[in-house]
């Protein structure tokens, strides 16, 4: 899994260093770097990320004030030059706490903690929903409400029995984010909730009257998933 992250850091040198570590690791993508918490808050109103590298003391709002504003909870790695924030870090349930300047080895340890926490979340009952950004709002969709997800280029369409939601994302990205116990990719343009499949005929499946192609690559995976008596 590759983590989508942002860096919120007013010290340019520290941010550049961190970007280089993220790139080197191959598992963390940096979507943006913000020099203050306010700009990051604005970005996070419209975008969902997996991970925030967050400085605490910055001009204007602090890193903790940013966390207070969030409507969802990405993982957070605090990056600060003070150790006095350990108690607050614990209160905010941050994943790790890096004291600047930190080495690549220490950075990797923090990313491993992110990975472990992700596994815990995905393995438990917590991932029974997802948040998607649509019409300027973050909407919670329960897995059970989603029939399938269809690609529309740089956008995807979430199909539920009641409504369709279009959001800026790709099937490739979602493939690694959705709960694999419920969803599976059946075609480069489709991820389906396989508990909703009504029937399968050759290389197509049907969900609520919608015909969805199954690619040759994914056919055997689909057949393994379904319970054939």
Partner 1 sequence: MYNEDQKIVFHFSSELDIAFLQELYSDDLQQAEMVFESSVQQLRNEQQLAASRFHDGDIPGLKKVIHKMKPLLGYIGMNKLMEEFAAFEQTCIRSATAAEAEEGFHHIKAITLEAIKKAEREIKRLKQHNTQ
Which of 194, 198, 202, 196 lies closest to 219 in space, CA to CA?
Answer: 202
Minimum gap (Å) between residue 5 Cβ and partner 1:
20
Strand pairing report for 51-54 and 75-80 = parallel
Q: Which residue has the tokens 């990719």?
A: 185
Which residues does residue 200 pair with via DSSP β-bridges, in sequence order? 205
Q: In this structure, are residues 167 and 132 in contact, taking their beta carbons and an 8 Å threshold?
A: yes
Minimum gap (Å) between residue 107 Cβ and partner 1:
11
Write the DSSP symbol of residue 143.
G
Q: Specify the residue, 81 or 181, whose C-beta has the smaller distance to partner 1.
A: 81
Q: In this structure, are residues 190 and 158 in contact, taking their beta carbons and an 8 Å threshold?
A: no
Euclidean distance between CA atoms 212 and 192, whole angstroms: 9
Q: Specify the residue, 99 or 164, whose C-beta has the smaller distance to partner 1.
A: 99
Q: Is the dihedral of CA 94, 96, 98, 102 positive or negative?
A: negative
Q: Specify the residue, 100 or 225, whose C-beta has the smaller distance to partner 1.
A: 100
Binding site for partner 1 (CB under 8 A): 10-14, 16-17, 20, 57, 59, 81-82, 100-101, 103-105
Q: In this structure, are residues 88 and 51 in contact, taking their beta carbons and an 8 Å threshold?
A: no
Q: Specify the residue, 89 or 147, whose C-beta has the smaller distance to partner 1.
A: 89
Minimum gap (Å) between residue 103 Cβ and partner 1:
5
Residues 6+ apart with CB under 8 A from 67: 54, 76, 92
Q: Specify the residue, 105 or 201, whose C-beta has the smaller distance to partner 1.
A: 105
Find the helix packing angle between 104-123 and 12-25, rounded to 10°: 60
Q: Specify the residue, 14 or 22, whose C-beta has the smaller distance to partner 1.
A: 14
Minimum gap (Å) between residue 110 Cβ and partner 1:
16
Q: Specify the residue, 20 or 163, whose C-beta has the smaller distance to partner 1.
A: 20
Minimum gap (Å) between residue 155 Cβ and partner 1:
38
Minimum gap (Å) between residue 29 Cβ and partner 1:
20
Q: Length of the chain in residues, anyone?
A: 229
Minimum gap (Å) between residue 13 Cβ and partner 1:
5
């Amino acid at each position: 899994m590759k983590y989508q992250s942002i860096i919120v850091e007013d010290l340019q040198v520290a941010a550049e260093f961190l970007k280089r570590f993220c790139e080197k690791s191959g598992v963390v993508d940096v979507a943006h770097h913000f020099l203050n918490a306010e700009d990051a808050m604005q970005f996070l109103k419209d975008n969902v990320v997996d991970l925030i590298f967050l400085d605490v003391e910055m001009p204007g709002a602090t890193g903790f004030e940013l966390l207070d504003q969030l409507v969802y909870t990405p993982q957070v790695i605090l990056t600060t030059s003070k150790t006095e924030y350990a108690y607050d870090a614990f209160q905010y349930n941050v994943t790790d706490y890096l004291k600047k300047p930190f080495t690549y080895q220490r950075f990797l340890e923090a990313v491993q903690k992110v990975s472990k926490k992700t596994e815990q979340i995905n393995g438990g009952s917590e991932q029974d929903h997802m948040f998607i950004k649509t019409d300027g709002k973050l909407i919670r969709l329960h897995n059970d409400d989603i029939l399938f997800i269809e690609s529309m280029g740089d956008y995807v369409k979430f199909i539920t029995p009641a409504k369709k939601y279009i959001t800026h994302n790709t099937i490739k990205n979602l493939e690694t984010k959705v709960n694999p116990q419920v969803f599976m990719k059946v075609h480069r343009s489709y991820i389906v909730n396989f508990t909703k499949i009504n029937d399968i005929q050759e290389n197509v499946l049907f969900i609520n009257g919608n015909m969805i192609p199954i690619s040759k690559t994914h056919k055997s995976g689909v057949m393994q998933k379904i319970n054939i008596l």
